[in-house]
Structure 1
């Protein structure tokens, strides 16, 4: 299976995916690659567009709902892309992203330290416990 690095056309997130999956996502979203989070946002936007049009009703029948009109998907993708551009151009967002990355690095470093400390503590406890049984 061929793995390819692909970049979200909305937020810029890079992911490694199979060519088949990339093709599926692009087919679903008007030829554009979207990461998981952006694809969820666009799907929600499509549902809102559909609900706002009176001639398209979703019924609660067990049969699958009809596919959303391609126009609605295209509009939702465009709307989400412009939303992402607004946030990427905001300096406060870039600072917040940098802070988030720093906190993630610290958290993963702290988690690694905590695991080491826990292993050391349990090994000390077992040694102390053994000593108590001998007395």
Structure 2
């Protein structure tokens, strides 16, 4: 009996000490996720004040890497990559599919597969 009371008290303390959660919505795809305010703040800092889910963050990072260190600041390249990816997400959620949706999907999957295979050849993760 004493052991179970001690367990219950420990669980109650853990619940009280748990950090508060907030629901963050991805600026690209609309995915909602519960996360701590600190994590949400760090993600927003990386994306110009907007929150992006992990998948969209990877896609934006890939788009920025593909653009290279071209003209404009990193903030401008980030903005462009976020806008392009947001537009892609909106087209994919649209009830009317784009004219070349199969080719577009194949192209994205091909780039993803190449990236995974390149990472395996290097023996690490990107």
TM-score range relative to shorter protein: 0.5 to 0.7
Deviation at residue 78 of structure 1 after TM alignment = 0.6
Shift of 1:91: 4.8
2:117 — aligned with what?
Answer: none
Q: Which residue pairs with 1:129 in the alignment?
A: none
Aligned to 1:29: 47
TM-score using structure 2 length: 0.57
Residue 90 of structure 1: how far off its partner (Å)? 3.5
Instruction: Report runs of 4+ in structure 1 exceeding 4 Å deviation.
Output: none
Helix, strand or coil at the partner of 2:34: strand
Match of 1:70 in 2: 75
Counterpart for residue 84 of structure 1: 89
Note the residue ranges of structure 1 that are not aligned, 5 or more in a row.
57-67, 93-135
TM-score normalised to the size of structure 1?
Answer: 0.53
- Give the C-alpha shift of residue 25 in structure 1: 0.6
Looking at CA atoms only, which structure, 1 or 2, has the larger radius of gyration? 1
Superposition pairs of residues 55-134 of structure 1, within 5 angstroms: 69-91=74-96
1 CA distance for matches of 2:68 and 2:20?
36
* Alignment partner of 1:38 is 2:56: yes
Deviations 1:85-124 (CA, angstroms, capped at 9, x unpaired)? 11111356xxxxxxxxxxxxxxxxxxxxxxxxxxxxxxxx
Whether contact under 8 Å (1:6, 1:14) holds in the other structure is yes
Query: Secondary structure of the equivalent of 1:39?
Result: helix
Task: Find the counterpart in structure 2 of residue 15 from structure 1.
Answer: 33
**Is the 8 Å Cα contact of residues 50 and 72 (structure 1) preserved in structure 2?**
no
Root-mean-square deviation over aligned CA pairs: 2.3
